[in-house]
Amino acid sequence: MTIAARCRRAAALILCLAAGVLALLLGASPVHAGVMTQAELARRFPAPLTVGERDAELPIWPLFREGGSGSELAGYVFESGDLAPIPGFSGVPVNLLVAIDPAGRFIGVEVLSQHEPVFQYGLGEAPLFEFVKQYQGVSLKQNIRIETNSRQARQPDAGRVSIDGISRATVSVRIINESVLAAALLVSRRKLGFGAGKGGSSIARVRTDRPETLSFQRLLDDGVLRHLRVTNAQMEKLYAGSDGARLDEEALRQPDAIFIDLYLACVSVPAVARSLLSAASLAKLAPWLEQGDQAILVISSGRHRVPGDDFTRGGIPERLLLRQHQLAIDMRDLDLDLKLVPGLGVPADASLAVFRIPAEAGLDPGAAFDFTVPVTRSKGQFYPERIARELPVSYQIPSRFLIAAAGGASWHDAWQARRLDLLILVCGLVVLALALSRPRKLSGNARRFQWFRGAYLLFTIGFIGYHAQAQLSIVNLTGVIQALASGRSLAFLLHDPLTVALWGFVVVSLLLWGRGTFCGWLCPFGALQECAGKLARLCSLPQWKVSRAMDARLKRLKYVALALILASALTGVAVDTLVELEPFKTAITLNFVRAWPYAAYALALLAISVFIHKFFCRYLCPLGAALALLGRFRLLDWIPRRSECGRPCQTCRHRCDYQAIAPDGKVAYDECFQCMDCVVIHESAQRCAPRLLEIKRARTIPIVSDTGAAP
């Protein structure tokens, strides 16, 4: 084959490999990760603000303001896609950069990425950019109302605030608002002390294992059905002595008439739902509630009904507001036609509505729900003065319907939620440990070994890498170093159970076999490179072997990279930039869906590995360097050797793609990736020269004389 033909084949292979990888990854489950770096945030938040180190527990950065008395906390900045990746109309979450101050007010909101069709192909992005600017100055303690062509003046101390929506983009704007609020509420609870610092698994959960049905009176007595009844006269009394007094003519004419007759119940509690809703209504409601969601049933009659005659179904009610621990929480109408159980003691003409509170809002079922019914009267004709009053309704779910919070250890839920993945990972690690503990038996049949290794590499790429997102990284080590240097807890590690389990196995394997177990079997990007190299060999592409002297020099590069990254982690200088030497985030975590320089770099490394075996792993990987250093404390020299290895036999040395065997036959375990090719050769009667010689000698027929005695 000519050189030109080989080059064409190589180019075609690289293009096919890149297309195949991208097709595989883009079709995989989307896993979002932040795109902001500390340097980029510093550019967006210039002096007098400074951007601190990324938080160890949440993907957020603190903002500090320099003053005469030193630095003070000015707020936090974060990406909504990291904390509340709510899918948009296109199925892809809109990613927003959100900043809030210590009082829970929005410093600003910016759009980082979006794929909403209405903005991509219709209105353009300009209306979206203008929409998110309106969050500046709004407080999380205010209920946010989105209106089209709203002209209401902002009042910082008002309980409600209006934001001007976008015509023809109602759904997208609603989802964006939910993403902004869900992410900001999570940060405010965890970092600003709102909501008693509760979030995640530190809040109670509704029990689903209580099949009881309660009478109407028992519902009222237990407080799971709250009743508010206000007459016109009582409403007028609330306005007495104010500018809103005697403005409601109907109330003055009929003081004993009902202004509002309201019942509230949390029907995400199964016992409450069964007691109030018909069987058909229960079946209708169930598909709309996911784990952690809450649903509020509203039964109302009278003049001031909830949600009101002019309410647009599917929207957020204005006549019923919810707060918990002073934080405003949105409820959205499910637009379901529900029916009550016959015979309940509610007015016959009462209207029904059910409102959903998504789990992302962080509502704690174990704490009080602070409902308010706002009532507004207007005085004046052209520029009317609005006088507001609120009717409070407190709601509390009894403890017998709840599972108590797990003592604030939010990582418990992460381990519980991923128990199936953990089981699969542990089974995979047990299989690998058993196989590696008997290397000669595993390698006794070369064909069987190749099938086992190939299958395990696919398991590493598909399950450990893209599904479980358990790619170990130098970032794991720098995060630990930074936490220890600043005196922070290492509890943040527990929020990623599969990574913790995999690190535990790797530490044990380092003591037994050295770095090769992870680098050769459990690294998804390393397995991806090896598969690319195997595919190249099947296509008869040329393989370039670096000279021994150059190989030795290049292998020092990864130790230099490791030293620079560890130094930057200790000093906090440019660490986010240096760790990008690893392509793991781009290739595995972000599925190559990243800015083109990062994707091009990762693809280039894969392309090089087509011709130079696992180029990145051998010469550039800082994590590999760290594991090589730690692996020097291994207990076993597990690769079997013969006295003839290296003296004179050089078969294994020439076949070692990692160039980890010296001419004298000694194995450099620091550079060994445990591919076990040398063990396969050692056990093969067809490939191992010393064994071939032994077999040949065994087959030698001794010469004897015709007398029967050996000469």
Instruction: Give residue 544's pLDDT.
Output: 87
Lowest mean pLDDT segment, chosen from 5-9, 249-253, 284-288: 5-9
Looking at the fold, whether 131 and 194 belong to one and the same domain comes out as: yes
* Contact predicate 683/444, CB 8 Å: yes
Q: What is the mean pLDDT of the chain?
A: 83
Instruction: Give residue 572's pLDDT.
Output: 67
User: Distance of alpha carbon 164 from its chain centroid, rounded?
Assistant: 31
Specify the number of domains making up the chain: 3
Instruction: Give residue 634's pLDDT.
Output: 85
Looking at the fold, whether 223 and 358 belong to one and the same domain comes out as: yes
> Is the pLDDT reported for residue 7 higher than 50?
no
Lowest mean pLDDT segment, chosen from 13-17, 442-446, 679-683: 13-17
* Contact predicate 265/296, CB 8 Å: yes
Closest to 291 in 3D by CA, of 359, 362, 354? 359
The C-alpha atoms of residue 363 and residue 287 are separated, in whole angstroms, by: 20
Average pLDDT rounded to a whole number, residues 241-253: 90
Check the CA dihedral 270-271-272-277 and report its sign: positive
Instruction: Say if 664 falls within a structural domain.
Output: no
Lowest mean pLDDT segment, chosen from 40-44, 159-163, 430-434, 523-527: 159-163
The C-alpha atoms of residue 569 and residue 306 are separated, in whole angstroms, by: 56
The C-alpha atoms of residue 657 and residue 652 are separated, in whole angstroms, by: 10
Instruction: Say if 84 falls within a structural domain.
Output: yes
The owner of tokens 């001031």 is 304
Question: Does 669 or 153 have the greater pLDDT score?
Answer: 669
Closest to 340 in 3D by CA, of 328, 349, 329, 331? 349
Average pLDDT rounded to a whole number, residues 353-370: 87
Task: Return the structure tokens found at 506.
Answer: 């790797």
Instruction: Give residue 306's pLDDT.
Output: 92
* Contact predicate 565/579, CB 8 Å: yes
Looking at the fold, whether 217 and 107 belong to one and the same domain comes out as: no
Looking at the fold, whether 338 and 450 belong to one and the same domain comes out as: no
> Is the pLDDT reported for residue 116 higher than 50?
yes
Looking at the fold, whether 488 and 533 belong to one and the same domain comes out as: yes
Task: Return the structure tokens found at 96.
Answer: 């927003």
Residues β-bridged to residue 570: none
Instruction: Say if 118 falls within a structural domain.
Output: yes
DSSP string for residues in 222-239: HTSEEEEEEEHHHHHHHT
> Is the pLDDT reported for residue 184 higher than 60?
yes
Residue 109's domain comprises 38-198
Looking at the fold, whether 64 and 139 belong to one and the same domain comes out as: yes
The C-alpha atoms of residue 512 and residue 126 are separated, in whole angstroms, by: 59
The C-alpha atoms of residue 146 and residue 181 are separated, in whole angstroms, by: 13
* Contact predicate 500/608, CB 8 Å: no
Lowest mean pLDDT segment, chosen from 62-66, 324-328, 403-407, 634-638: 403-407
Looking at the fold, whether 319 and 456 belong to one and the same domain comes out as: no
Instruction: Say if 642 falls within a structural domain.
Output: no
* Contact predicate 689/644, CB 8 Å: yes
Instruction: Say if 236 falls within a structural domain.
Output: yes
Burial label for 126, CB within 10 Å (0-12, 13-18, 19+), is exposed
Instruction: Give residue 164's pLDDT.
Output: 87
Confidence label for 371 from pLDDT (cuts 50, 70 and 90)? very high
Instruction: Give residue 32's pLDDT.
Output: 38
Which of 403, 425, 452 is a domain's end point? 403
Burial label for 277, CB within 10 Å (0-12, 13-18, 19+), is buried
Work out the number of other CB atoms within 10 angstroms of the CB of residue 47.
8
pLDDT tens per residue across span 572-607: 677 767 888 999 888 887 778 767 888 899 999 999
Which of 198, 222, 237 is a domain's end point? 198
Sequence letter at residue 530: E
pLDDT tens per residue across span 627-666: 999 888 888 888 888 878 878 888 888 888 888 888 888 8
* Contact predicate 80/95, CB 8 Å: yes
> Is the pLDDT reported for residue 89 higher than 90?
no
Instruction: Give residue 456's pLDDT.
Output: 94
Instruction: Give residue 90's pLDDT.
Output: 63
Looking at the fold, whether 191 and 218 belong to one and the same domain comes out as: no
Which of 380, 403, 426 is a domain's end point? 403
> pLDDT > 90: what percent of the chain?
33
Give the global pTM: 0.50
Instruction: Say if 2 falls within a structural domain.
Output: no
Looking at the fold, whether 344 and 256 belong to one and the same domain comes out as: yes
Confidence label for 626 from pLDDT (cuts 50, 70 and 90)? very high
> Is the pLDDT reported for residue 310 higher than 90?
no
Looking at the fold, whether 223 and 187 belong to one and the same domain comes out as: no
Instruction: Say if 696 falls within a structural domain.
Output: no
Instruction: Give residue 483's pLDDT.
Output: 67
